[in-house]
Amino acid sequence: MKQNDDATVTSAAVDIKKRAISRYLQALILVGAFYFLPAGTWRFWQAWLWIAILFIPMAFVGRYLLRHDPELLRRRLQFREKRSTQKLFIKITSVYYFAALLLPGFDHRYGWSNVPAGVIFLSDLLILVGYGLFFLVMRENSFAARTVEIMPDQKVIQTGPYAVVRHPMYVAVSLMWVLTPLALGS
């Protein structure tokens, strides 16, 4: 019986790994398309840097979660929200999300903005700090899923970043999204 349980666990881990790699590659291609198609060129160094700042740490975090908390990784890969109020919020914020992805490319193409390189690099550095905080939240809270749900054995976290602010993941993501246009020279 133990052998079947081990095979099931191994199969589940392989499935999570395949899903994570697939989503990672899909996101990389999609984000690249959102920046480079509107820009009309591959010569958009700000977008290349931003993609590296986001996706290189993401690969390491994915690998960490696969080894240390595959259940959290599985929950993070779920996108379907169950609550109608959350679904509405996602629909409304999607407009901002897509605009935030598309506008910097058009800005690059038409030269609407002139953001100094120092501001771009500082923004990228702070985005990396935001992503670091995001990782700390996931390391501290194994229930930091993408969708809102209450899980059995879930408890209120009061340590790590949660000792400083009640919703540190929101702080991390807000920091990243507010600075993204500047990091993209827009």
Least confident of 68-82, 122-136, 164-178: 68-82
What integer pLDDT is reported at residue 101 of this predicted model?
84
pLDDT over threshold 70, residue 145: no
CA nearest to 168, candidates 140, 142, 148: 140
More confident residue, 33 or 71: 33
pTM score, whole prediction = 0.84
3-state secondary structure of 182: helix
Q: Which residue has the tokens 């240390």?
A: 68
pLDDT at 79: 67
Q: How many structural domains does the chain have? A: 1
Alpha carbons 128 and 58: distance in angstroms, whole number? 11
- Which has more confidence, 37 or 159? 37
pLDDT > 80? residue 157: no
Tokens 């990091």 correspond to what residue? Answer: 183
Question: Bigger pLDDT: 29 or 153?
Answer: 29
Q: Which residues contact 85 (CB under 8 A, 6 or more apart)?
A: none
b or e along 134-162 (b: 16 or more beta carbons within 10 Å of the residue's beta carbon)? bbbbbbbbbebbeeeeeeeeeeebeeebb
Residue 35 has pLDDT above 90, yes or no: yes
Contact status, residue 160 vs residue 80, Cβ threshold 8 Å: no
Q: Which two tokens stand for residue 139?
A: 């390391």
- Banded model confidence at residue 76, pLDDT cuts 50, 70, 90: confident
* 180 vs 35: CA distance, rounded Å: 12
Does the pLDDT value for residue 179 go beyond 60?
Answer: yes
Domain holding 18, by residue range, is: 2-183
Q: According to the model, what pLDDT value does residue 151 have?
A: 64
Cα 124 from Cα 126, distance rounded (Å): 5
Could you tell me if 101 and 183 are in contact, meaning their C-beta atoms sit under 8 angstroms apart? no
**DSSP string covering 47-65, please?**
HHHHHHHHHHHHHHHHHHH
List Cβ neighbours of 75 (8 Å cut-off, separation of 6 or more).
143, 145, 146, 147
Residues 117-139 have a mean pLDDT of 95
Q: What is the mean pLDDT of the chain?
A: 86
